[in-house]
Amino acid sequence: MENKEVQNEILYIKQMIEESKKKVFDNGMHYITWGILVSFACIGTFFMIQTENYSYINRMWAVTYITGGIISFVSGSRQRKNLPITFLSKIIIGLWGSTMLIMATMLFAALYSPYISEEIAVLFPALTLSLAHFISGIIYENKILKISGICWFASSFVFLFWISSYSLLLFAVLIIALQVIPGIVLYKKNRHAEL
């Protein structure tokens, strides 16, 4: 009798873990939204550097972060209504919140510090995104996010040795390939799971 009880409790714990994994699942919209916004901002920054029109770069990035923040807050609030906050959800929120904070700080440093150029500023977001994507892939048990994290890490070596305003264009392409496309895959997977 006691052995049967232990097995039932283990089965119950396994079911709770599986349910928790389902509840923390990201629908991919944050990846898509931020990826599109940041890629447009990188392209805009590139053209402003090429035309030596530096005065609007900081405003464009401020609008990018404010817009992304509002969209993330609204969509996150909607998701939280449908899903309870789990421990893994808190980890994901903290991970991506700190990722955005690090990237915003690096952007600020690139815009206002005489020691960091706009061209090398993409190195640090690439490293930060490698960590965030890889950890998200582990939490979600998602292979495409893990691969995306590894690719971001590999791309950081390119940004380390290739210091050029054209690195902003490469970053824009990479963010489409390594953030928007995985976001679309997550979105489709989530839609398929809902049906």
CA atoms of 27 and 193, how far apart (whole Å): 10
Residue pair 137/146 in contact by the 8 Å Cβ criterion: yes
Q: What residues contact residue 86 under an 8 Å CB cut-off, 6+ apart?
A: 20, 23, 24
Q: What is the pLDDT of residue 112?
A: 76
Q: What is the pLDDT of residues 53-82, one digit of tens each?
A: 888 888 898 899 899 989 988 887 777 676
DSSP3 helix / strand / coil % (the chain, rounded to 5): 85, 0, 15
Does this model's pTM top 0.85? My answer is no
CB atoms within 10 A of CB 159: 22
CA distances from 151 to 30, 52, 94, 128, 156 (A): 19, 31, 22, 12, 9
- Per-residue confidence of the chain (195 residues) as pLDDT tens digits? 577 787 777 777 777 666 655 555 577 888 999 999 999 999 998 999 899 888 888 889 889 989 998 998 888 777 767 666 777 778 888 898 899 888 888 877 877 777 776 667 788 889 999 999 999 999 888 899 999 999 999 999 998 888 888 888 999 999 999 999 999 998 888 776 665
Residue pair 140/162 in contact by the 8 Å Cβ criterion: no
Token pair of 36, please?
């599109």
Q: What residues contact residue 129 under an 8 Å CB cut-off, 6+ apart?
A: 99, 103, 149, 152, 178, 179
Positive or negative torsion for Cα 186, 154, 132, 71? negative
Closest CA to 23 of 84, 72, 96, 77: 84
Residue pair 33/68 in contact by the 8 Å Cβ criterion: yes
